[in-house]
Amino acid sequence: MKLIRYAALVGILTTIAIGAMAPSPSWAVDRAEAEETARLLAKLLKAGRLVIEQNQLLIDDQQKGDKGFTPEVFEQQLVQEFRQQTGIDLSKLQSTPASLAVPPLAKELLPAFVLASKEVVRDAQVVINQRGIGYKNFIPATYGSQAAARFSKQSRVRLKQTTLGPRNPKNEPDDYEASVLKWLSSRPRAEAYVSELTDQGQTLRVVMPIYYVPACLTCHGEPKGDLDISGYPKEGHREGDLAGAITVTAPLSLR
Amino acid sequence: MVDYDRDSILSMPHRPRATLVVRSHERGATVPRARRLREWASLLLMAFMLQGCGLIVDAVQLVHPIATNELDAICARGQVRVGMAVEPFQPFVFPAIYTDEGLRVTGLDVELVREISAALSRRCGGTKPIVPTLQLIRFRNLFVELTEGNLDLFVSSISANVPAQGRIGLAYSSPYFDEGGISGITRQPDTAKRIGEYVRRSSTKTADAHAMAQAFSGLTVAVQEGTSAQFYAEANLTGIKLILCDSLPAAFESQNPPIDVILGKQPVLDYTVRRVRKNWQLLKLDNGKPLFLTHEHYAIVTDEESYRLRQFLNDLLFRLDESGRLTDMRQRWLEDLYAYPRRAATEGLPFAAEKMPQHYDQGQCRLADNRSR
């Protein structure tokens, strides 16, 4: 078993080392496009999580009824955050300069993810705008789960949040994800991501790590074992620890 | 000449008081004028004699009994329409929250609704389960929605034994929770001490009505409007300044005037001071037991004419009680250590978001009118 895991890790390391190098010219272009699209989708989900995190105090403000955190406001902030992180302006996607090299597949899927995210924020309005109720559990993780699920339903690309020992059983990593997460957890924080072909080269999998920032530690930090506001035991993590990953699974025969 | 469309009446699945279909008689044009006048006159006379729509409907039911009862209607619909208060009555109904699965509501009453739906699915015997359609609406509107036929039933730790004005057309199931009662909380140790002192001096050593009236006299007491606590306070507590609040959270925040005591459902208040408002304390007797002003039990509310549904619910509650399931539910929600968002994610029920007030507000508090109490 250990040998298999070792082999898997070696495989991952090799994949990272060769990065976007094309093992076979027959699907080289497709893979590069799918990989960049997957990377951007993961970045966009991360940006959405960040926007929720930045508005957490507003969302949980029990003194205020209508928070004004509408799907449109969320979209504006998401577009702004994504532009800061990637330089890509989602509002002008079709006229993006060639230097930024947004693949056609990404031009198709990024707006679809924004739409799915807006639907999530729209659905949550009745909960967000309650006055007199503080914590509403509309947090980066629940937003992310629903946005990823909605997007995945409408697309052949599957987005998922995962971690080792997740609070939500649906976020349990599969064997591949678990191997990558274990490997990532033993390494220092980096902005790198892991990319690999599976299913005899038919499917591309991209795993982008997420690390804990101070805002996360209210629920996931110390003291370990104490219940947080949502009733889960705190994990005792520290800033910079691996929180989990966003995984993107894309069949290479997308178009 | 008018004619009641019998088929329409018989096929009405769940609106026994729906408007009857009236149509012109096909041969109307050939009926002699004098005869038509006589018939109109007869109808007018009948309408005069049967004053009130209910009597007409009853008369029609007598001639043509409506074939479908409310249980069959639920089976045909594949849904049971359940009302719940949007104001939290934790641990019976927690505030609606967002989870990995979307919008959810949870609590003891939600678990009960799951049991009801499962039992209805068995009763209906179809291949598809009966889906509970939860409507989170304001407490005061639950009664209106039920009597207007928009709900099959509602639950929200509703007291079945504290008399209340204006609750007509409703009926209660057997109790599913019989350890309830009206109690009070305060954040002022002196007030708790003062009330305890009165109870101690009382000959019965319990909370008799006279001792309670004296104990609370001069205090500013808040209750949620429309709940059994309001009806109890109005009937029994003379000399208090009664404050009516739209919700329990509103009572906690009321500053003007400052509240001495909040009266409400003991299990709800107990949960609240243990988990949420830890600077408030439950009024207790010397032996450490809660001070009950009266006991009450909680039941499911249905339309008074929903006999079949009520019989079904009573039978289900009997079986849940006999099997120990109700005891387990009480234990899980009232005594175990848990956090509701976690339970909402794993066992909560979705609800009809469009029925929920868009900007639910905990509301305000105001002084009750000056009627003598």
Distance CA B157, CA B177 (A): 8
Residues of chain B with Cβ-Cβ distance to A124 below 8 Å are 98, 103
* Residue A109: C-alpha distances to residues A89, A119, A155 (Å): 14, 15, 8
**A96 close contact with B: CB closer than 8 A:** no
What pLDDT, in 10s, does the model give residues A41-67?
A: 999 999 999 999 999 999 999 888 899
A14, pLDDT greater than 90: no
Listed residue (A52, A42, A51) closest to A158, CA to CA: A42
**B255 close contact with A: CB closer than 8 A:** no
Q: Number of helices (H) and strands (E), helices first, in chain B?
A: 14, 14
Do B99 and A131 make contact, defined as CB atoms within 8 angstroms?
no
Is the reported ipTM for this assembly greater than 0.85? Answer: no
Non-local (6+) Cβ contacts of B102 within 8 A are: A123, A146, B350
What pLDDT, in 10s, does the model give residues B287-337?
A: 889 999 999 999 999 999 999 999 999 999 999 999 999 999 999 999 998
What are A195's strand-pairing partners? A206
- Contact in structure between A70 and A79 (CB atoms under 8 Å): no
- Contact in structure between B83 and B146 (CB atoms under 8 Å): yes
Q: Which of A127, A163, A167 to mutate to test the interface with B (most CBs of B within 10 A)?
A: A127
Residues belonging to chain B: 373
- Contact in structure between A229 and A59 (CB atoms under 8 Å): no
Q: Model-level pTM? A: 0.77
What are A210's strand-pairing partners? A244
For residue B116, the number of C-alpha atoms closer than 13 Å in the C-beta half-sphere is 31
Which range, of A157-166, A204-213, B14-23, averages the lowest pLDDT? Answer: B14-23
**DSSP string for residues in A175-214:** HHHHHHHHHHHTS---S--EEEEETTTTEEEEEEEEE--G
**B103 close contact with A: CB closer than 8 A:** yes
Residues of chain A with Cβ-Cβ distance to B99 below 8 Å are 137, 142
Which B-chain residues 220-249 have CB contacts (< 8 A) with chain A?
247, 249
Write out the two tokens for B268: 């709800």
Q: What is the mean pLDDT of residues A147-172?
A: 92
pLDDT band at residue B352 using 50, 70 and 90 as cut-offs? confident
List the alpha helices (DSSP H) in B125-182. 139-147
Shortest Cα–Cα distance, A225 to chain B (Å): 13
- pLDDT on residue A4: 43
Domains and CATH numbers, chain B: 2-63 (no CATH), 70-178+297-355 (3.40.190.10), 180-296+363-367 (3.40.190.10)
What pLDDT, in 10s, does the model give residues A161-188?
A: 999 988 888 889 999 999 999 999 888 8
Express the helix, strand and coil content of chain A in percent, nearest 5 each: 55, 10, 35
Residue owning tokens 């999530």: A120
Residue B99 has its nearest CB partner, among A135, A142, A227, at A142
Question: What torsion do the CA atoms of A33, A34, A36, A38 make, to the nearest 10 degrees?
Answer: 160
Q: Could you tell me the maximum CA-CA distance found in chain A, to the nearest angstrom? A: 60
